[in-house]
Chains A and B, each alone.
Chain A
Amino acid sequence: MTATAMEQDGYNLRLYVAGQTPKSLAALANLKKLCETHLPGRYTIEVIDLMKDPALAQRDQIVAIPTLIRQLPEPLKRIIGDLSNAEKVLVGLDIAPS
């Protein structure tokens, strides 16, 4: 896949967590599983721990944890919760089930 293709097809995801809370751990695990299944090789995940730096919450106007932000492809999308409902996450991220 070329850089252009990555820009076109790739998913840049950002997961906001609060330390190792159960929902944060569950959200990360669910997200990784879902991406490996539906977006193999086409995604990046950035995990941001707001316990370490609460000020980072302002950047994406986070109000609840965990929150997943889809930065790319645009438009920006957010999903709140532990991402345990895979169907809802796929819809929320505009990913067609493979």
Chain B
Amino acid sequence: MAAKDVMQAARPRNEAEETVEAIHRGNVDAVVVQGPSGPQIIMLQGADAPYHVLVERMSDGALTLDADGSIVYVNSRLCALTGLSAQQLVGRSFASLFAGPVPQQRADDAVSDAQLRRSDSDGLPVSVWMRQMAMGGVAATLVTLTDMSIQRRAEEVATAERFARSILEQATDAVVVLALDGRITHASWVAEQLAERSPVGQLFSEAFPLDAQSASQQGTLTRFSRESLDRALATKPFHGVEVALRNERMSGRSFLLSGGPLVNDAKDTVGSIITLTDITERKRAEEQQTMLVAELNHRVKNILAIVQSVAGQTLRTSPSLPAFNKAFSGRIQAVSIAHDILTQTRWIGIGFNELLTTVLAPYGVGEGRIAIEGPPVLLEARLVLPLSMVLHELATNASKYGALSAPLGQVTISWRRCDDRNRLELVWIERGGPRVERSGTRGFGTTLIDRVVRFDLDGEAALDFEPEGIHCRLTFALTAETSPEHPPASAVQPD
């Protein structure tokens, strides 16, 4: 046998002895053994000590399961998460850790969400990672659990923040949130528009310089210096102070300033929520309403005076009660139509053409009996009632005695502007009716036309009873120089 072969033969014994000696002396920390599927590494006691330290120190919960799903190891973080000791946990089933579905290992090595039972409180949201592996020839499952409650809380806070922001964005009022030092921390879109830029970071008094709207509230505002106003706004509740913004773009606009405390979960006041509501339109509407009520009062009194006068005069000139009834109803109807027009046009006025069409509708204005012709003219509201009454008188007379009482009679109405366009001339001509014979007496209709035109319309009326038909010429001012405060002439008793 060659010397080399002798060495080869001798080596296994020496190596075996050396290996045993090394293990005995603690010089090795793992050995290789032949397992069913090839060599396996078996760690000797203490070899994985660093890993144990790491696992014990990690911020995630960690545990190991045996093939039956029983817990064989837990780290201290898992004890803290569950509120149970390692002794209580080892030996329990993995499933008993969870409220609800038990997490399973996922093929893509991803985490799954679960609810960890706790001994002292509600379940804890966790994300669970699992992997099966062979440890020294034995199947085991490694599991880590990550506490998701902080992340969930952060998500909830972010959601609440988004929610609050969307409310701010949608608010039609200017809304700002003040910190206790009076500085703006949040502002709605409308508030940014009012301040002409983002007011966040500014003091409220810098972003929104205020003036009081009324003398009594001037006192409320001037009681505070600028600094103390900011502090007061940030700490004291108040409601409904009418203010204006010292801002050229916002001059003439009125705002309602209100504020209330902003409290946190612990019920501590951490600032305030201030709203500036633009009440310019509301105030304008209130003023208009007050004015309208006064105007209505005035007009109702006038109408009652007119009705009273018309009733008395109609009664005096009516031969019988049925004749009174007919004449009075017609005149009141004319007043009513005039008021319908005023209401429909919101007391703004009406085109002359439209007025004629409406008032003369019962007399066949659309049927070829009455022809109307003239330029477009807008009548002021104050002209509507007197003109309606005059036109009614003319039309009633025409249908009873004039052109409209005969089958082929016609009325032609024409108008034009005159006197530098400030006045209107209206001509009413009747033709084709019975021959007109002038009687000596003036009826109430004639008197009414004359007075209304003179006093209510500031004009003149020329009424000619020509044999072939009535010829009436009215001229009146289109614009009043002063608004008459006295009752209309139509209400004045005739001579």
Write the residues of chain A forming the contact surface with B, with a CB cutoff of 8 angstroms: 18, 20-24, 50-51, 54-55, 57-58, 62-67, 75, 78, 80-82, 84
Residues on the B chain within 8 Å of A58, using CB: 38-39
Residues on the A chain within 8 Å of B47, using CB: 18, 21-23
Interface locus among B27-35, B419-427, B448-456: B27-35
Which among B29, B39, B50 is the interface contact of A54 at CB below 8 angstroms? B39
Write the residues of chain B forming the contact surface with A, with a CB cutoff of 8 angstroms: 4, 7, 15, 18-19, 22-23, 25, 27-32, 38-41, 43, 46-50
Assuming the contacts A54-B38, A54-B39, A54-B41, asked whether A81 and B27 have C-beta atoms less than 8 A apart, the reply is yes
Q: Given contacts A18-B47, A54-B38, A63-B31, list 18 more A-B pairs with CB under 8 A.
A: A20-B50, A22-B29, A22-B50, A23-B47, A50-B30, A50-B32, A50-B41, A62-B32, A63-B32, A64-B30, A64-B31, A65-B32, A78-B18, A80-B18, A80-B19, A80-B28, A81-B28, A82-B27
In the bound complex, what is the Cα–Cα distance between A80 and B18 (angstroms)? Answer: 7
Which among A20, A51, A84 is the interface contact of B41 at CB below 8 angstroms? A51
User: Which of chain A's residues has its CB closest to B27's CB?
Assistant: A81
Residues on the B chain within 8 Å of A23, using CB: 27-30, 47
Say how far B378's CB is from chain A's closest CB, in angstroms. Answer: 99
B27 touching A80 by the CB < 8 A rule?
yes
A24 touching B50 by the CB < 8 A rule?
no
User: Which of chain B's residues has its CB closest to A67's CB?
Assistant: B28
User: Which of chain A's residues has its CB closest to B31's CB?
Assistant: A64
Residues on the A chain within 8 Å of B48, using CB: 21
Looking at B29, B41, B48, B49, the one whose CB has the most chain A CB atoms below 10 A away is B29
In the bound complex, what is the Cα–Cα distance between A29 and B15 (angstroms)? Answer: 23
Residues on the B chain within 8 Å of A54, using CB: 32, 38-41
Assuming the contacts A63-B19, A64-B22, asked whether A22 and B49 have C-beta atoms less than 8 A apart, the reply is yes
In the bound complex, what is the Cα–Cα distance between A94 and B22 (angstroms)? Answer: 20
Residues on the B chain within 8 Å of A51, using CB: 41
In the bound complex, what is the Cα–Cα distance between A46 and B39 (angstroms)? Answer: 20
Which among B7, B25, B29, B32 is the interface contact of A21 at CB below 8 angstroms? B29
Residues on the B chain within 8 Å of A67, using CB: 28
B38 touching A55 by the CB < 8 A rule?
yes
Say how far A76's CB is from chain B's closest CB, in angstroms. Answer: 9
A57 touching B32 by the CB < 8 A rule?
yes
In the bound complex, what is the Cα–Cα distance between A50 and B47 (angstroms)? Answer: 14
Assuming the contacts A21-B48, A50-B41, A55-B38, asked whether A64 and B32 have C-beta atoms less than 8 A apart, the reply is yes
Residues on the B chain within 8 Å of A22, using CB: 29, 46-47, 49-50
Assuming the contacts A54-B40, A57-B39, asked whether A65 and B50 have C-beta atoms less than 8 A apart, the reply is no
Residues on the A chain within 8 Å of B15, using CB: 63, 78, 80
Say how far B37's CB is from chain A's closest CB, in angstroms. Answer: 9
